[in-house]
């Protein structure tokens, strides 16, 4: 995720300037000038995942914040629905996403193992 003008700055710099979400439009909120919105960030992830063909067994390695949007894509959430979602994926942990062979239903088998 791009943090715009906060890129390369100390966390204390961001803490003093971060703009909280106002409740009107969670998908298009920018925490600081030039930062990516959730719509832009999740949209990039969705677009990439839509462009690849996953084999029967795949390993996807990502940052924990991005993993929320990988899971959202996996279970078929629309981009318009991801404004409130957060799966709480922890760094260094494994999440298993599965699809059943018969109905092709998708699920999260486990999170943060």
Number of domains present in the structure of the chain = 1
Domain assignment of residue 98, given as a range: 55-113
Q: Is 42 exposed, middle or buried (0-12, 13-18, 19+ CB in 10 A)?
A: buried
Assigned token pair, 70: 């990988």
Residue 42 pLDDT level (bands cut at 50, 70, 90): very high
pTM passes above 0.75: yes
pLDDT digits (tens, 9 = 90+) for 53-110: 998 899 999 999 999 999 999 999 999 999 999 999 999 999 999 999 999 999 999 9
Instruction: Tell whether 91 is covered by a domain.
Output: yes
Instruction: Tell whether 14 is covered by a domain.
Output: no
Instruction: Tell whether 97 is covered by a domain.
Output: yes
Residue ranges with strand state E in 1-113: 96-99, 106-110
The whole-number pLDDT of residue 23 equals 82
Residue 30 pLDDT level (bands cut at 50, 70, 90): very high
Instruction: Tell whether 83 is covered by a domain.
Output: yes
Contact 111, 87 (CB under 8 A): yes
């Amino acid at each position: 995720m791009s943090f715009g003008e906060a890129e390369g700055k100390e966390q204390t710099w961001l803490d003093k300037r971060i703009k909280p979400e106002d409740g009107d439009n969670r998908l298009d909120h920018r925490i600081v000038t030039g930062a990516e919105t959730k719509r832009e960030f999740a949209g990039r992830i969705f677009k990439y995942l839509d462009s690849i063909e996953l084999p029967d067994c795949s390993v996807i390695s990502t940052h924990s914040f991005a993993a929320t949007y990988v899971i959202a894509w996996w279970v078929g959430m629309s981009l318009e629905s991801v404004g409130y979602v957060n799966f709480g994926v922890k760094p260094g942990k494994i999440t298993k996403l599965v699809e059943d062979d018969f109905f092709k239903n998708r699920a999260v088998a486990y999170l943060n193992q």
